[in-house]
Amino acid sequence: MLFFNSTKNGVEMNDNFIPLEFTLLSEPEMFERSTEFYNSIKKRRTVRDFSNREIPLEIVKNALRSAGTAPNGANMQPWHFVVVTNKDIKHKIRIAAEEEEREFYNIKAPQEWLDDLSPLGTDASKPFLEYAPVLIAVFEKKYGINELGEKKKYYYTKESVGIACGILITALHQSGLATLTHTPSPMNFLNEVLNRPANEKPYLLLVVGYPKENTMVPNISKKSLTEIADFI
Ligand code: IYR
């Protein structure tokens, strides 16, 4: 690769590096922001009862822009998001997902798994896949395809897409929307229904909308800081 170097204030510069935009905050402000963020994110709950009320698509677009900033392997950005609002396509997804889920709940799932799920009150019926205003199908690009149609290696794709999904869910929550991380298994039907290529593996189906009024959620709690972290 060719570098065209110049000097700025005696420092060698080239276009491959640009100055970091970093806002240095005072410690009180850092503390205030961290507390404010925690107080907001701890209210995020997985919702399974969605209202059919429309949501502003611009909010979803901004959340996806945020997800697209995720750190990832060699900046290959190995993700693709399909935002589904079309009723017929949502119906197709519901039918295919419920078929997988019936198989899971009635045949495949071991008793221990069913017991672990029982506090959540889930079953094979997934009406929200049809009635929630937006589904975001997240695909993991296992590899890329270059201009010549050849395979391009991608790195840490699962980790990268997982981080992007975390940012996506957080951004939607911060914007005032509820989500459900839904993972019917296997989800291969999503490639067919959404017409995605073979290098993309369905990673997550994120249901997005407003919760139904008076929605109840499982009475479960999160582990404490001492349970999840050590300081050495
Ligand atoms: N995919 C099923 C089962 C399920 C599995 C886990 I692990 C969960 O945390 C929740 C549900 C379903 O969506 O019902």
**What is the C-alpha separation between 73 and 141, in angstroms, rounded?**
12
3, pLDDT greater than 60: no
- Is there an atom of ligand 1 within 6 Å of 122 CB? yes
pLDDT digits (tens, 9 = 90+) for 147-181: 999 999 999 999 999 999 999 999 999 999 999 99
Q: Is the pTM of this model over 0.85?
A: yes
30, pLDDT greater than 70: yes
31, pLDDT greater than 70: yes
Question: Tokens 């073979």 identify what position?
Answer: 198
**What is the C-alpha separation between 177 and 172, in angstroms, rounded?**
5
- Is there an atom of ligand 1 within 6 Å of 109 CB? no
| For ligand 1, atom 5: residue with the closest CA | 117
Q: What is the mean pLDDT of the chain?
A: 95
For residue 93, the CA-to-ligand 1 centroid distance in Å is 16
pLDDT digits (tens, 9 = 90+) for 63-73: 999 999 999 99
Q: What is the 3-state secondary structure (H, E, C) of the chain?
A: CCCCCEEECCEEECCCCCCCCCCCCCHHHHHHHHHHHHHHHCCCCECCCECCCCCCHHHHHHHHHHHCCCCCHHHCCCEEEEEECCHHHHHHHHHHHHHHHHHHHHHHCCHHHHHHHHHHCCCCCCCHHHHCCEEEEEEEECEEECCCCCEEECCCHHHHHHHHHHHHHHHHHHCCCEEEEECCCCCCHHHHHHCCCCCEEEEEEEEEECECCCCCCCCCCCCCHHHHCCCC
Res 10: pLDDT: 72
For residue 111, the CA-to-ligand 1 centroid distance in Å is 13
For residue 100, the CA-to-ligand 1 centroid distance in Å is 11
For residue 46, the CA-to-ligand 1 centroid distance in Å is 12
Pocket test for ligand 1, best of 117, 217, 220 (most atoms within 8 A of CB): 117
For residue 183, the CA-to-ligand 1 centroid distance in Å is 7
Average pLDDT over residues 211-228: 97
Pocket test for ligand 1, best of 100, 111, 122 (most atoms within 8 A of CB): 122
| For ligand 1, atom 6: residue with the closest CA | 117
For residue 208, the CA-to-ligand 1 centroid distance in Å is 17
pLDDT digits (tens, 9 = 90+) for 74-133: 999 999 999 999 999 999 999 999 999 999 999 999 999 999 999 999 999 999 999 999
